[in-house]
Structure 1
Amino acid sequence: MAKRGEKTRQKILDSAEKLFARRGYHGVTIRQITEDAKVDTALANYHFGSKRNLFDAVLLRRAEELNKVRLEKLEEIEAAAENGVASLEDIIDAFSHPLLDRSERGGPGWKSYFALIAQINNSPEWGGKLMTEYFDPLVRRFIAALKRALPEAREEDIYWSYHFFSGALVLTYAETGRIDNLSDGKVHSSDLDAVQLRMPPFIAAGFRRLCETGGPKN
């Protein structure tokens, strides 16, 4: 019974993730989710209680895995680094690679999850609260590593640099196809392996330009 209940719960989460990513939180009903999952609506109420609880469960399910892998990767590069201070490129890679790798190879569920995160990040209604709740403890750990990698930088420049990095990630895993059109098909927004080769050195250069030159000049 417990195994069957967990299977049903995961089916509901999968359908909710897919539909929330396509239509947004307000564009989906519990009934539509349970119809997609081919389960009785009462089971969604039993497992989650409300649509908001289901939405939170969708976000938490993959956030826990993603945050665990990112933290393990950061700890690994710090343990291997001299004096425990990892390079800027390695820190950026530890933050971005698990995300891009899952979007590239993790299947349609991860694609839906990242599309949903892109929506949330760009939403005044959800962005600040939900991203703070699910990701800020991990982000603060990475920002501490960035401060050690750039010890002379002003704190405000570290935070702005992270902000720009986060925006680049959101645009990238949204896979809008815009770069496909701009390049006349020479590159593709879905080619996340190509992204991963280029993003760490590009973002690291931006961090250094802003943080190692004393910030912007008036």
Structure 2
Amino acid sequence: TETRPYSRLHPLRWPIADDKGNQLTTIKVCTIPLSTSSKIKAEHKGDDDAIRIANNEAYLRHMTGLTDAEVMRLCMPDYNSLIAIVLSLSNKTTGLLRNEDGEETDSDSFPLLVPVSDPFKGTVTQIEIRPPTVQMTRLVQEFSGEVRERKLAALATGLDETVFDQLHMPDWNQLTEVLSDFLSEDAGFFPQKTSST
């Protein structure tokens, strides 16, 4: 069964007509998986303003289903609001989004916003993260960037590496943030129950 992405609604202050002539009054912005995000980033490499705008609009189209023509019809204030939601859903962690929704989360064990499927464990609705050992960390030292993050995440969660492409961005951001904390902070940084497990 297909899982539904996490989403937020933006009521258009200035409604537009879609490509079929129907009026759009509300736009749903949905999270996307890491695989889609990685593809967008690969297609829009660079740091100048034009590339940044193209990158943001690629995210906007993927996360809303809007066509290029529909994006062009948006009034700038609505466009700016939608880009802000897109960036929020792409860059924030699950914990931050759940807090904004009035829910509490435990940082090193968290329910996924969007369940994923592990080839060995089946449907995964929650991620349990164990602090990486020194040995685990040394094993992945030869890798760098996202490859290193994926290998370390697999070791720390017991999930198959193929699962991470399915993780929606806030869930991936949460996972990498916790792993980064485990690698950089000392034991006193974590609640007692984390350090005793």
TM-score, normalised to structure 2, is 0.30
TM-score, normalised to structure 1, is 0.28
Q: Which protein has the bigger strand share? A: 2
Q: Which protein has the bigger helix share? A: 1
